[in-house]
Amino acid sequence: MEILPPTQEIPPSAWSEARSWLEAFGYVAPNVELTARDIASAPKPAQAFGNMPIIGEYDEATRKLFVGERCGNRDVDAPVAGPPGPPTRTDCRDIIRASFYAWSAVAPFTFTEDASGGPVDILIRWG
């Protein structure tokens, strides 16, 4: 799915709709202070959940998703006691890959894993 940068200002009414939706479905913890940047990025997970084009804007379809009825089950569940142990090397690699993917979705960067041992711009070593 293509991810496009946001091109519009956040309508004031969208703040409360986005906040309610993000809290209700597990994207942010209740009573956490959200910045304008947090609210501006709120349409993206909503659009991904709604299987919509991820445009990052508060269009009418996204607003309907924010205020529409849902089953009430959270999309994101966090473990109460934390993870079941230290992360594996695979877990770490997956997290780093996801982080670089998220970064490249909002910035003009392309990341490619290179295990050749040659010169690279970002080096991550496993101890």
Q: Which domains does the chain have, with CATH numbers?
A: 1-78 (1.10.101.10), 80-127 (no CATH)
DSSP 106: H
8 Å CB contact between 74 and 27: no
Dump the DSSP string for 13-48.
HHHHHHHHHHHHTTSS-TTPPPPHHHHHHTHHHHHH
**pTM score, whole prediction:** 0.44
CA distance 9 to 118: 44
**Exposure string for 95-122, b = 16+ CB within 10 A, e = fewer:** eeeeebeeeeeeeeeeeeeeeeeeeeee
- pLDDT tens series, the chain, 127 aa: 333 344 455 666 777 777 787 788 877 777 777 777 777 777 788 788 888 888 887 788 888 887 888 787 877 765 444 556 777 888 888 888 888 888 888 889 888 888 888 898 888 887 6
